[in-house]
């Protein structure tokens, strides 16, 4: 089989889209080349995996042009034409699926053609769409600004400037609310990327602007004069401040309360986005040493699952990082039975590309939690490290297994390679490295105390008590308690 854009696109099609695209390219409005249609008919026989032996350029050419000598240029042009049609089809699907976008283009045409009666009818219909919560709060602000611009241009083109004053004011209100929300999201994402992946922009105009703005005063103004807009803007402001001021617990509490009181005002995608951001805030707080947020994070995961907000509609699959984070949190809290049910129920929602590997990853965690250490080692040995966090997770898990089994020699060999891996990895931040390195440090001290029958246990307890940002903190604490029971 050969690589082609059209095959990459067709792999993402659903069975109904395969049929729909067939009708799309058969329409003379879109395509008049019969050989492009014939090529598609041949390609769709290979749907969905496209591994059939006839899917070579030479064999496709011979089917399209029996008896003629193979011409690579001809088949490449046909494939390119079909790819362009597929791109048009995807664009058409995206636009036609957005009722507001369809109406805005119609309004602009009606304005240009000066069909004013129909313009006013469609305008009222479009205003109802913008007010519909299914459009989404954030994009609602953006579309409202866009619609006010269309109305403003309509009146200006008809020399009715006296009608534009309030329109211009509403246009400004909408774009400011949208911009504030987007800036809060951007800043929070920049901070999270810096903390986790050591990614920091050379120029950060977003934070510079937010830092020079009286945001609390602005929110007070919005609360008084635009009360309908306040909850959404304030919610994203509190999430931004939670990451920015990681030790302050007020902002996350305020964000959760606002979200809880207004959850029905958000559409499905926004609910999932906001849950993800609240979860990220809990992760950052727990990594900063506040252990209570591990439990809170777990409760949020369960709440999100109970509300069936685990998969974004357009993505179709459970996000691999959500899957991983949920299992790591369950393990930290020793919720192994719950984790096992989660693996059995939700692994099937993952992208098939990741499913088998993620299932093995999940089994490793469950087997460890249930004390089936040898089985967990076998699982770990077959996990593919497509993502570096998988490698870190499995290294940590393997170290814990070696300790439980008393394989201290193997443990120290793994510690050495793990330290080198963390030290050389430039894609993670210094704080993330320290978070895992401190686990390794106390892990090694655990082994030394164990091997020396309690010697230096007091120093271990004292050092551990002074540290807050440690990976697997609960597990280390549990092992220290076991040593104290044995040697104190």
Would 199 be classed as within a structural domain? Answer: no
Long-range pairs of 168-173 with CB within 8 A, sequence gap ≥ 24: 170/144, 171/145, 173/226, 173/229
Structurally, the chain folds into a number of domains equal to 3
Q: In angstroms, how far is CA 479 from the centroid of its own chain?
A: 35
Same domain membership, residue 106 and residue 56: no
The answer to whether residue 220 scores a pLDDT higher than 90 is yes
Same domain membership, residue 79 and residue 26: yes
Same domain membership, residue 476 and residue 410: yes
Please tell me the distance from the alpha carbon of residue 200 to that of residue 221, in angstroms, as a whole number: 32
Please tell me the distance from the alpha carbon of residue 453 to that of residue 486, in angstroms, as a whole number: 9
Same domain membership, residue 447 and residue 420: yes
The answer to whether residue 292 scores a pLDDT higher than 70 is yes
Domain ranges, residue 119: 101-177
Higher confidence at residue 134 or residue 322? 322
What are 429-463's pLDDT values in tens digits? 777 888 899 999 999 999 999 998 888 899 998 99
Which among 62, 88, 98, 61 is positioned nearest to 5, based on CA atoms? 88
Would 211 be classed as within a structural domain? Answer: no
Residue after which a domain boundary falls, among 40, 74, 96? 96
Same domain membership, residue 89 and residue 9: yes
Please tell me the distance from the alpha carbon of residue 186 to that of residue 191, in angstroms, as a whole number: 9
Would 401 be classed as within a structural domain? Answer: yes
Same domain membership, residue 401 and residue 485: yes
Q: How confident is the model at residue 314 (pLDDT cuts 50, 70, 90)?
A: low
The answer to whether residue 2 scores a pLDDT higher than 80 is no
Tokens of 477: 């604490």
Give the CA distances from residue 312 to residues 11, 134, 485, in Å, rounded to whole numbers and listed in that order. 20, 14, 48
Mean pLDDT of the chain: 91
User: Which pLDDT does position 230 carry in this prediction?
Assistant: 95
Q: In the Cβ-directed half-sphere of 341, how many Cα atoms lie within 13 Å? A: 7
The whole model's pTM is what? 0.82
Region of residue 198 (phi > 0: left; psi between -120 and 50: alpha; otherwise: beta):
left
- Span 63-86, average pLDDT: 95
Q: How confident is the model at residue 1 (pLDDT cuts 50, 70, 90)?
A: low
- Phi/psi at 314 (5° precision): -75, -25
Same domain membership, residue 469 and residue 398: yes
Residue after which a domain boundary falls, among 66, 96, 126? 96
Would 339 be classed as within a structural domain? Answer: no
Please tell me the distance from the alpha carbon of residue 388 to that of residue 286, in angstroms, as a whole number: 21
Residue after which a domain boundary falls, among 96, 112, 136? 96
Q: How confident is the model at residue 137 (pLDDT cuts 50, 70, 90)?
A: confident
Would 469 be classed as within a structural domain? Answer: yes
The answer to whether residue 36 scores a pLDDT higher than 80 is yes
Which among 461, 441, 457, 438 is positioned nearest to 449, based on CA atoms? 457
User: Which pLDDT does position 305 carry in this prediction?
Assistant: 94
Please tell me the distance from the alpha carbon of residue 113 to that of residue 119, in angstroms, as a whole number: 10
- Phi/psi at 160 (5° precision): -120, 55
- Span 29-56, average pLDDT: 91
Same domain membership, residue 13 and residue 74: yes
Which among 263, 239, 255, 131 is positioned nearest to 183, based on CA atoms? 239
What are 253-271's pLDDT values in tens digits? 999 999 999 998 898 888 9
Same domain membership, residue 474 and residue 395: yes
Same domain membership, residue 80 and residue 171: no
Would 225 be classed as within a structural domain? Answer: no
Q: Token pair 């976008």 is at which residue?
A: 101
Would 268 be classed as within a structural domain? Answer: no
The answer to whether residue 315 scores a pLDDT higher than 70 is no
Same domain membership, residue 89 and residue 17: yes
What are 196-205's pLDDT values in tens digits? 777 788 999 9
Same domain membership, residue 111 and residue 89: no
Would 127 be classed as within a structural domain? Answer: yes
Please tell me the distance from the alpha carbon of residue 132 to that of residue 139, in angstroms, as a whole number: 11
């Amino acid at each position: 089989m050969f690589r082609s854009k059209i095959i990459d696109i067709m792999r993402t099609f659903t069975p109904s889209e395969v049929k729909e695209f067939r009708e799309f390219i058969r329409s003379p409005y879109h395509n008049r080349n019969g050989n492009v249609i014939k090529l598609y008919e041949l390609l769709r026989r290979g749907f969905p995996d496209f591994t059939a032996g006839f899917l070579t350029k030479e064999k496709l050419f011979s089917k399209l042009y029996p008896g003629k000598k193979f011409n690579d240029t001809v088949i490449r042009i046909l494939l390119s034409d079909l790819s362009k049609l597929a791109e048009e089809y995807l664009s058409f699907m995206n636009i036609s699926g957005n009722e507001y976008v369809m109406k805005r283009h119609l309004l602009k045409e009606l304005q240009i053609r000066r069909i004013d009666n129909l313009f006013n009818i469609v305008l009222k219909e479009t205003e109802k769409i913008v007010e519909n919560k299914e459009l989404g709060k954030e994009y609602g602000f953006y579309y409202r600004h866009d619609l006010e611009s269309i109305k403003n241009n309509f009146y200006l083109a008809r020399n009715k400037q006296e009608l534009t004053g309030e329109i211009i004011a509403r246009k400004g209100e909408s774009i400011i609310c949208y911009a504030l929300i987007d800036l809060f999201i951007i800043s929070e994402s920049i901070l999270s990327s810096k903390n986790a992946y050591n990614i920091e922009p050379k120029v950060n105009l977003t934070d510079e602007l937010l830092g020079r703005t009286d945001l609390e005063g602005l929110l007070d103004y919005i609360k008084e004069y635009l009360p309908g807009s306040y909850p959404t803007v304030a919610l994203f402001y509190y999430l931004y401040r939670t990451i920015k001021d990681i030790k302050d617990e007020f902002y996350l509490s305020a964000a959760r309360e606002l979200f809880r009181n207004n959850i029905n005002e958000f559409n499905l995608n926004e609910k999932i986005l906001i849950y993800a951001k609240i979860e990220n805030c809990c992760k950052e707080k727990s990594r900063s040493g506040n252990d209570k947020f591990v439990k809170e994070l777990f409760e949020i995961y369960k709440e999100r699952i109970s509300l069936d907000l685990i998969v974004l509609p357009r993505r179709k699959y459970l996000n691999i990082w959500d899957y991983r984070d949920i299992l790591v949190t369950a393990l930290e809290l020793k919720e192994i039975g719950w984790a096992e049910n989660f693996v059995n129920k939700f692994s099937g929602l993952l992208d098939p590309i990741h499913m088998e590997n993620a299932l093995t990853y999940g089994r490793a965690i469950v087997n460890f939690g249930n004390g089936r250490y040898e089985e967990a080692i076998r699982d770990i040995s077959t996990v593919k490290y497509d993502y570096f966090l998988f490698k870190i997770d499995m290294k940590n898990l393997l170290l814990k297994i070696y300790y439980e089994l008393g394989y201290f020699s193997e443990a120290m060999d793994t510690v050495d390679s793990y330290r080198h891996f963390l030290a050389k990895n430039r894609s993670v931040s210094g704080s993330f490295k320290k978070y895992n390195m401190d686990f390794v440090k106390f892990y090694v001290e655990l082994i030394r105390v164990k091997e020396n029958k309690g010697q230096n246990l007091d120093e271990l307890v004292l050092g551990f008590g002074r540290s807050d940002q440690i990976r697997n903190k609960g597990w280390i604490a549990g092992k220290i308690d076991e040593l104290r029971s044995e040697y104190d």
